[in-house]
Structure 1
Amino acid sequence: MKTRHSKTASKPLEIALGNVSVRIVPEQNVVNGATYERFTLIYFEGNERIRRRFSDLAKAKAEADLIVTKLANREGEVLKLSPADRAIYTQSVDLLRDLQAKLRAPDSIPLNYAVKEYADARRLLPACVSLKQVVDDYLVRHNQVREEKLVPDAVNEFIAAKEQAGRGDRHLRDLRCRLARFAAAFSLPVAQLTGPMLQTYLDDLDMAARSKLNTFKHIRTLIRWCVRRKYAPRDLLDELDGIEKPEAKPSPTLVFTPAELREILDATLTVRPDLVPAMVICAFCGLRTAEVLRLDWSEVRFEQGLVEVTAAKAKTATRRVVALSDAARAWLAPYVRSEGPVSPVNGENRLHDAVVAALRQCRAARKAKLPFRWKRNGLRHAFCSYRLSVTQDLNRVALEAGNSPAMIHAHYKELVPAADAQAWFNTLPPENPASGKVIPLPAIAA
């Protein structure tokens, strides 16, 4: 047995026997202001690191001699193998030592630990697939990732890119709201996301099915963007395809009746006449509320009888032109300007709230018992439904509404009576607001 002493008392000493060694580390222990020497004996039992403390160096050495002898005897028992088994054992230990050197690991890799790790991995694989094949696939997958990017950082960069691309304020607000919640849930690199993680996140969201679907669409767009930026492997897209998405039931298409349109326009004319142009263009041209809020009077070509929705202001980023009906021209005539915003109100909710407030005020003046029921997107839905009833031309209405013929057919086909369609486009302004008489303009042409 060899004992290798350190040159100074403050350094550890090592007691070895064969290939087995233990260390004694001198330390100073302070108790109630007094300093005492303490000696810690350190050795390994299998994978477990053992530390035992002694106040006397001689006792620590005696215990170290006993332990190193026991450990060496165990090693001797192991080496009482056949020549072939001994060769396998020593070769395995040499391989682990080479691996330790390559990994620059501070501690040796126990043989039993390496065998256990192999066995655990092997149990999970089909017999025809080797562990090396799995590792090769892993390396190929992760070589697709050029830069490790945390999910919160990727979300911020993604939204900044959308801002730079000029996406609309409403779209950006929706992105920030939905993806901020997603970023808060995953403080890990994007490349470490998995399909099961995303499935659990989607399932646990406390919201309606439609909102879950909208959230998932934003997450999918984010991940596709991350794959293009080399922040995530392409395999993550395959895992996205396997996610079970909630089934959102389509909401009913609610439209305003001609009588309700008359009440809306009369109320705004009486209480908020500055809102009349926005309501008229929604009702008779079918623009989305967000598109009307972006519309400028320079794009209302009154003399030509049309409204231009530029690609920059359209939801679908596609330019379209909508004709002004006779009723629309009659309502807009007193308000036409060369330039400036058509709507004096910013924000969809603010516009709707202002119109509903005008309706309530007028109903209160008439002492009406029931409140006016506002129908979300009701003016646009009404335009599409009544316009399709008048023209019977899916493609024409789809172009005017900025939608697909399939969507027009699915949501607006045979939704309203033909008589109501004629009445809608003949809702004309009063000749004198106090008299209630209307201007006798001809009906809209099909």
Structure 2
Amino acid sequence: MNASSPPTAAGSASRPSRAPVYVARAGNITLPVRQYQNRGRPIYTFESKSAAGQRVPTSRRNLNAIKTLADKHATELATSGFQSQAQDIDKREELARQFEELQALTKPLQLSPLEVVKAYLRLTEDLKGVPLAQVVQMFIRAGGVQVLSATVPAVVDAFMARDSLAKKGPDYVKQIKSTLTAFAGQFPGPIDQLALVDIETWLFGLEVAETTRRTYHGRLCQLFSFAQARRHLTRSVPHEMTYVPMPSPKRKKAVIIGPEEMAEALALAQEFAPDPDTLLHLVIAGFAGLREVELQTLCWEDILGDENSSDTPQIVLHEDQVKTNTSARSVEVLPTLRAFLKPFRLAGLTGPVFSVCDIKHKASNRLPRWSALKIGLADTQAMPPAKFVWKRNFLRRGFGSYRLSTLKNVDLVTHEMGNTDFVLLTYYTTPVFEPIADRYWAIRPGEGYHERVRTWLSSSRWRRQRARRVKIVAEARAARMQSV
């Protein structure tokens, strides 16, 4: 019987005899066996220590049985002791060998072995038994010492030539190239010699909005991370952009177009615009939230759903149409937008929605803005000035704010606008009283709208513009699809 402690039944146990009844010996290990009295019967016990240093007694009623166990246990302890001593000797020899290797490895680095050992001891728990010499070799192989020197313009060229960047939208590539080219023009020397103060002086000295400065900061971080991956910067320490503070633009209230202003703009476009492009720009951007770059490639085939059906149509934007080519998305054609698009869709139009957005020519690669409404799109027509000032992203911010006020669903509005929830709530929306949102979505075409659309579509001038536009968009879309 094993016992965790000598038996001490009340009134029946006695003190052990002074001398052991047997001593098991093996090497320098001795285990004395002592006799106890329990309920008038003898019981024999010896004690040993566990790996944690605790006393562990072993007891038997039979003397021969306890002798056998004591001899066996003493032999095991003696054998393990010799092995432990041998292992200690092997460890000391291994440490001496590693220290010699460490001296040879650290000599060209001008580091003392003591400094490396201190750093190693601080990382012992994370290294989980990896030999010290192996750690130093890993450090050198990782590029912690040797750097492949390269100038900033060369790194920018390599960064822009990446395959992953070629899959992005052309506007995104153009913007990031403009930023990095300006940076390379300011710093033509090796990228590993750039000082933190020089980068900060350039970034915070630009006369741009804080939001734009924040965007530039992110692009420079991408460039420096790319250089570090290509071993143009030391991998063992963070690159300089890690310590450049992130610009924190003050959040401004998003200025949106009001229901009355939208109605006024649509009335002016319907009455004075010589073609439907201005009105289509207003209704699609204002009631679907599309970006200008997405409007430029929008075709009537992208508006899915039968106009005579009760099903809700959708605008589907594919990977080659969205801003950053991240993923396709769809936007529901709400009743307001559906009412304005109905005569165009019933006419069976195909191809590009807009006829005057010539994406081949830089001077005319933008859709008509509010300035076009104020001065008139035709030289022979005068347009009365609006009663309000047009703001940047007026229509898109209005769509996001009114849509969020109605749906109360950030995830759905984020998907429809193609932004993250942070960007949506920070830059593109403002709290709107729900009755005001209801007035915005209650806007409908004015009297004589269908006749005006028929006049536009029968215009020979518009037909000629559209024929040229169909060819240009087809060529541009084919080129973009090849790059996706």
TM-score tier by shorter-chain length is 0.5 to 0.7
Residue 416 (structure 2) aligned to one of 382, 390, 400: 400
How far apart are residue 286 of structure 1 and its match? 1.5
Question: 2: distance between equivalents of 1:218 and 1:405?
Answer: 21
Question: 2: distance between equivalents of 1:192 and 1:322?
Answer: 48
Question: 2: distance between equivalents of 1:141 and 1:238?
Answer: 15
Residue 352 (structure 2) aligned to one of 336, 341, 355: 341
Question: 2: distance between equivalents of 1:196 and 1:141?
Answer: 27
How far apart are residue 431 of structure 1 and its match? 3.8
Match of 2:372 in 1: 357
Match of 1:207 in 2: 208
Question: 2: distance between equivalents of 1:254 and 1:414?
Answer: 8
Unaligned 5+ segments in structure 2 are 1-109, 120-135, 307-311, 453-484
Aligned AA (1:383) = F
SS at match of 1:308: strand
Aligned AA (1:417) = F
Is 1:285 aligned to residue 288 of structure 2?
A: yes
SS at match of 2:339: helix
Match of 1:248 in 2: 249
1:232-271 pair list within 5 angstroms: 232-235=233-236, 237-269=238-270, 270-271=272-273
Q: Cα distance 1:235–1:287, how it changes in 2: closer, same or farther (>3 A)? A: farther
1:45-56 pair list within 5 angstroms: none
Match of 1:220 in 2: 221
Aligned AA (1:152) = P
Match of 2:478 in 1: none
Aligned AA (1:358) = L
Aligned AA (1:427) = I
SS at match of 2:392: coil
SS at match of 2:256: coil
Structure of higher RCO (CA pairs closer than 8 Å, 6+ residues apart): 2
1:30-41 pair list within 5 angstroms: none
Aligned AA (2:405) = S
SS at match of 2:162: helix
Question: 2: distance between equivalents of 1:234 and 1:299?
Answer: 47
Does the 8 A contact of 1:278 with 1:342 survive in 2?
A: no
How far apart are residue 307 of structure 1 and its match? 0.6
What is the RMSD computed on CA atoms of the aligned residues? 3.8
Question: 2: distance between equivalents of 1:216 and 1:325?
Answer: 38
Q: Cα distance 1:343–1:146, how it changes in 2: closer, same or farther (>3 A)? A: farther
How far apart are residue 308 of structure 1 and its match? 0.7
Is 1:419 aligned to residue 435 of structure 2?
A: yes
SS at match of 1:221: helix
How far apart are residue 274 of structure 1 and its match? 2.5
Match of 2:399 in 1: 383
Question: 1: distance between equivalents of 2:287 and 2:314?
Answer: 11
Aligned AA (1:331) = F
How far apart are residue 313 of structure 1 and its match? 2.3
Does the 8 A contact of 2:299 with 2:353 survive in 1?
A: yes
Aligned AA (1:314) = V
Q: Cα distance 1:314–1:263, how it changes in 2: closer, same or farther (>3 A)? A: same
Aligned residues: 309
How far apart are residue 253 of structure 1 and its match? 0.3
Match of 1:298 in 2: 301
Question: 1: distance between equivalents of 2:208 and 2:162?
Answer: 28
How far apart are residue 255 of structure 1 and its match? 0.5
Does the 8 A contact of 2:400 with 2:429 survive in 1?
A: no
Question: 1: distance between equivalents of 2:303 and 2:450?
Answer: 28
Q: Any idea what the Cα deviations from partners look like across 1:231-270, whole Å, max 9, x if unmatched?
A: 3222564432211233321232011011111222233333
Q: Any idea what the Cα deviations from partners look like across 1:164-188, whole Å, max 9, x if unmatched?
A: 6232222122122211211112222
SS at match of 2:330: strand
SS at match of 2:161: helix
Match of 1:314 in 2: 322
Q: Cα distance 1:226–1:294, how it changes in 2: closer, same or farther (>3 A)? A: farther
Does the 8 A contact of 2:254 with 2:430 survive in 1?
A: no
Q: Any idea what the Cα deviations from partners look like across 1:41-91, whole Å, max 9, x if unmatched?
A: xxxxxxxxxxxxxxxxxxxxxxxxxxxxxxxxxxxxxxxxxxxxxxxxxxx
Q: Cα distance 1:305–1:189, how it changes in 2: closer, same or farther (>3 A)? A: same
SS at match of 1:340: coil
Question: 2: distance between equivalents of 1:398 and 1:240?
Answer: 30
Q: Cα distance 1:164–1:324, how it changes in 2: closer, same or farther (>3 A)? A: same
How far apart are residue 379 of structure 1 and its match? 0.9
Match of 1:188 in 2: 189
Q: Cα distance 1:156–1:268, how it changes in 2: closer, same or farther (>3 A)? A: farther
Question: 1: distance between equivalents of 2:234 and 2:318?
Answer: 38
Does the 8 A contact of 1:264 with 1:359 survive in 2?
A: no
Question: 2: distance between equivalents of 1:246 and 1:396?
Answer: 29
How far apart are residue 407 of structure 1 and its match? 4.5
Aligned AA (1:154) = V
Question: 2: distance between equivalents of 1:274 and 1:382?
Answer: 20
Q: What percent of counterpart residues are identical?
A: 25
Aligned AA (2:320) = A
How far apart are residue 331 of structure 1 and its match? 0.9
Runs of 4+ residues deviating >6 angstroms: 136-141
Deviates more, 1:342-351 or 1:323-332: 342-351
Does the 8 A contact of 2:156 with 2:180 survive in 1?
A: yes
How far apart are residue 143 of structure 1 and its match? 5.4
Unaligned 5+ segments in structure 1 are 1-120, 437-446
